[in-house]
Structure 1
């Protein structure tokens, strides 16, 4: 019997999927602090969270039986993925569940910002009729700069093009051909900043993106630019944004996320009339809540009962179809790795794996990890190496892995 802990509120449709599986026992415990979660996690095989729970390295260290952490949503910055990987725990998310909802919220924030709708609403509720005060801006024929053309960025681009905006984007991981098919012009980061009338951010929060919209970025922007952030707090330097608004460089900002959530009541940006904000509502629709709950519940069931890995952020995903094809090869790869480990007389510096024949037409990353697992478990005389941490352990030990394919 697998024990699953649901540490944040999950839509009932997701809970029903978990409870319908006879091999799974579910416990709900929303609102746990990291210390409380650490004390509770020990007997559980799976943990499901949203953005409310923080899964620290200490929580993971106390999880003696944990096999998988499921994030009902996209961002995993509230999970110590590195610690989970070292311990061999799969971390999954649901990248498609709230894409449309977040894209729609972005467009809503942009239009509200352009027409000062929240400010006008507050004015009227205060008993005023300040028609001449709230002169907005059209988005028609304006240039929207998108930082990050992933799933959400792409949906925002499609909707902006429907509003007859010009769309330029910065994303080093998208080809010019794909962008052209979408009707989007790719440009360097600095050029997007310089040309855009509106800028919207759609990147994850990483060491590389933290603070990427800071003082230097604001200095490159045109006077009167408007900024939208429905991605992650911390990507925008909030102190630099405050200065840019107060100086008149930035006409306004629409923020759904903050570096600290909730932000303190005296946060300087909350006092600025040019700033409109929502309490991290990007995924807050009934449809999105159900989508991510159903998706993560099904992923957890499939992983625990069938070994299927889907939408994992720290190990290659395997669909049921791919798992069926690779299953015999996975066993063979691990045995070959173990055999190689028995033959070694010193620590390996490089592992070369050649794939030939039909198998070379498939994604072979899981097979490479299987070889590493067999090799390292033999070399380390341990059974702690699995498909999740094999690559990390090899890297830590300076083992270079080389793959070659012959079709």
Structure 2
């Protein structure tokens, strides 16, 4: 009997779908962010052997028990905060993640946000579109000579550190869980988050969302940052206390923020960040370039197929076993 894989939140990339078909797998999918009842019905009616999770509100116990045949849950990406890992572990369901598949894309996105902020791209674009052309009003600066502080030195952080070295930035990082080898020759390890915040001109977040990192950057942390510092968040929105961020931006405590993720997605139309000219926002798309989506899909599908066949899966891809 053919295996069935259900993707909750849209199909994987065409290359991934082709890999599933070539393996004789029945591949089904919902639209983006399906209603829970729709997802439960599809999982139950199809007798899914595996769930792939691109875009869904949350994978909870109800979804994980909808199909009696379910053997594995795979995140179409690296972050698994939208999956109830405790429930999965209690059910004996392994959870896989495509660790590192979109690291380069996210690192490029963080660099783009840094450059857009320091070069004042948003405001200059609006100024020219409105008929302005007085270069004496320009207040852009350079990244050269500044210090980048990475909160987290995983694959994304390491890729970003390599990208800013030719620009002339100094890079430091705080990551209490990383081995010494992760920092490499161009990143100086600091022992505390406070130390990193006090020294950095740009603070870029690359840590996972855990109970320990929820609200990691709040009022106290913003007060420790340099006046004129920039905050970049391509991690998870909940790592930052958004009301404290708004206060820091409005008061001028920090100079700007580049945000690709938010505590609630999509954010409300009346979110106070929208009124601030020192903020650049994107819709949590840093890791979904065409190239990254293809790599994430291929890694996710390979992992799922390997697991279902009883083949070896890289241990780093297991969020739970």
Normalising to structure 1: TM-score of the pair? 0.74
Q: 1:314 is matched with which residue: 294, 300, 320?
A: 320
Residue 177 and residue 313 in structure 1: after superposition, are their counterparts in 2 closer, same or farther (change >3 A)? closer
Residue 194 of structure 2 corresponds to 190
Does residue 142 of structure 2 align to residue 141 of structure 1? no
Larger radius of gyration: 1
Deviation at 1:21, TM superposition (A): 0.9
Does residue 296 of structure 2 align to residue 295 of structure 1? no
Residues of 1 paired with 2:81 and 2:185: CA distance?
Answer: 29
Residue 74 of structure 2 corresponds to 70
Residue 26 of structure 1 corresponds to 27
Deviation at 1:130, TM superposition (A): 5.0
Deviation at 1:88, TM superposition (A): 1.3
CA deviation digits over 1:156-185, x for unaligned, max 9?
111122211011110112344552x33111
CA deviation digits over 1:229-278, x for unaligned, max 9?
01111101110011111111100000011001110111001110011111
Residue 12 of structure 1 corresponds to 14
Residue 283 of structure 1 corresponds to 287
Instruction: Please show how residues 387-398 of structure 1 align to structure 2 within 5 Å.
Output: none
Residues of 2 paired with 1:192 and 1:99: CA distance?
Answer: 22
* Bigger Cα displacement from structure 2, 182-191 vs 118-127: 118-127
CA deviation digits over 1:277-328, x for unaligned, max 9?
111111121110110111111111111123433311102xxxxxxxxxxxxx
Tell me, yes or no, if the aligned pair for 1:150 and 1:202 is still in contact at 8 Å.
Answer: yes
Residue 98 of structure 1 corresponds to 102
Q: 2:247 is matched with which residue: 243, 252, 267?
A: 243
Q: How many residues align?
A: 313
Residue 212 of structure 2 corresponds to 208
Tell me, yes or no, if the aligned pair for 2:203 and 2:231 is still in contact at 8 Å.
Answer: yes
Residue 41 and residue 277 in structure 1: after superposition, are their counterparts in 2 closer, same or farther (change >3 A)? same
Residue 40 of structure 1 corresponds to 42
Residue 158 and residue 69 in structure 1: after superposition, are their counterparts in 2 closer, same or farther (change >3 A)? same
CA deviation digits over 1:132-170, x for unaligned, max 9?
443112111111111000110111111122211011110
Structure 2 residues not aligned, in runs of 5+: none
Residue 199 and residue 30 in structure 1: after superposition, are their counterparts in 2 closer, same or farther (change >3 A)? same
Question: Secondary structure of 1:70's match?
Answer: strand
Tell me, yes or no, if the aligned pair for 1:158 and 1:182 is still in contact at 8 Å.
Answer: no
Instruction: Please show how residues 244-259 of structure 1 align to structure 2 within 5 Å.
Output: 244-259=248-263
Residues of 2 paired with 1:177 and 1:299: CA distance?
Answer: 27
Tell me, yes or no, if the aligned pair for 2:153 and 2:182 is still in contact at 8 Å.
Answer: no
Tell me, yes or no, if the aligned pair for 1:33 and 1:54 is still in contact at 8 Å.
Answer: no
Residue 238 of structure 2 corresponds to 234
Tell me, yes or no, if the aligned pair for 1:101 and 1:288 is still in contact at 8 Å.
Answer: yes
Q: Whose RCO is larger (CA < 8 A, sep 6+)? A: 2
Does residue 113 of structure 2 align to residue 109 of structure 1? yes
Structure 1 residues not aligned, in runs of 5+: 316-407
Question: Secondary structure of 2:17's match?
Answer: helix
Residue 204 and residue 177 in structure 1: after superposition, are their counterparts in 2 closer, same or farther (change >3 A)? closer
Residue 177 of structure 2 corresponds to 173
* Bigger Cα displacement from structure 2, 11-20 vs 69-78: 69-78
Residues of 2 paired with 1:41 and 1:182: CA distance?
Answer: 48
Moved over 6 A (4+): none
Residue 206 and residue 169 in structure 1: after superposition, are their counterparts in 2 closer, same or farther (change >3 A)? same
CA deviation digits over 1:356-384, x for unaligned, max 9?
xxxxxxxxxxxxxxxxxxxxxxxxxxxxx
CA deviation digits over 1:319-353, x for unaligned, max 9?
xxxxxxxxxxxxxxxxxxxxxxxxxxxxxxxxxxx
Question: Secondary structure of 2:140's match?
Answer: coil
Question: Secondary structure of 1:282's match?
Answer: coil
Does residue 88 of structure 2 align to residue 84 of structure 1? yes
Residue 159 and residue 27 in structure 1: after superposition, are their counterparts in 2 closer, same or farther (change >3 A)? same
Question: Secondary structure of 2:89's match?
Answer: helix
Does residue 155 of structure 2 align to residue 154 of structure 1? no
